[in-house]
Amino acid sequence: MIGTAYIFLALTNPTGPREAEFNEWYSRCHIPEVVTHGRGFSGGRRFRQHGNFRSDGVLAWRYLALYDLTSDDLQGYHRQPWNEHRPALTPFTGLLQDDHAAWIFSPVGPRVRADGSASGEHGHVGTAADAACLVMEMGNALVHDLTATGSWLSHMPGATAARRYRLAEHQRPGQPAAPLQHLALYEFDLQDAGIAQASVVAARQGATIVTAWIPLDEYVDTRAAAAAIAARG
């Protein structure tokens, strides 16, 4: 699809006693359905916030769905977010709390690897598709220039790549406002999200918010999404 590349962050909390059902629905049904029926979506992956998650009201969500989205008209997308008028979506009443939020961010510059090389200047690969864990830095000032200082990633144990983003101009109507305007995503091949988070905090002294996220599933592209829906019958 021709258009601008974005990432779409969906942040949710399950209803306490139904967390297992929530996870089953989100992984088995919702991610494949969004990737299949969502206009401009090309893939997505689920994450759970690392154990000591923030509960200060800024990022007080336990779960993240991180999608790749391409659009040439975000306002038009928000008016009609689905490829069809009423796609057959699996019901989820009672599975998640009402505090969910969804924000769209646009890339600022390329994805920079630990060896200093860059890719995706005019597009993107599957965001965090291969990451063993993900660290998110958020702030109200544009995060440092990764292109100029990308070599410092090689000094962060397990860091493989990073990319900067800024909040897109148009957001879904009725959503709570995003608390911060800029973010960077750091991909790690570490299994220990705590170590990954600590390495970003140490390197990025003064960062407003740094959270770590553990993948729950593999990255789901359009082909995997169609296969998952077909397997459900």
* Neighbouring C-beta atoms of residue 93, cutoff 10 Å: 5
Tell me the one-letter amino acid at 135.
Answer: V
Mean pLDDT of the chain: 87
User: Residue 22's CB: how many other CB atoms inside 10 A?
Assistant: 22
CA 146 to chain CA centroid, nearest Å: 19
Average pLDDT over residues 184-202: 90
The model's pLDDT over 76-98, given as tens digits with 9 standing for 90+, comes to: 999 999 998 778 899 999 999 99
pLDDT digits (tens, 9 = 90+) for 144-168: 655 554 556 777 889 999 998 999 9
Whether the per-residue pLDDT at 211 is higher than 50: the answer is yes
Provide the pLDDT confidence category of residue 196 given band limits of 50, 70 and 90.
very high
Going from N- to C-terminal start, the domains of the chain cover 4-231
Cβ(156)–Cβ(203) below 8 Å: yes
More confident residue, 73 or 123: 73
The dihedral built from the CA positions of residue 178, 136, 111 and 149, taken in this order, carries a sign that is: positive
The helix (run of H) or strand (run of E) holding residue 149 is helix 146-149
pLDDT attached to residue 144: 60
CA 45 to chain centre: 7
Rounded Cα distance, 181 and 167, in Å: 5
What's the CA gap between 226 and 211, in Å, rounded? 31
pTM: 0.92
> Of 3.30.70, 1.10.1060, 2.60.40, 3.40.50, which CATH number belongs to 4-231?
3.30.70
105 has pLDDT over 80: yes
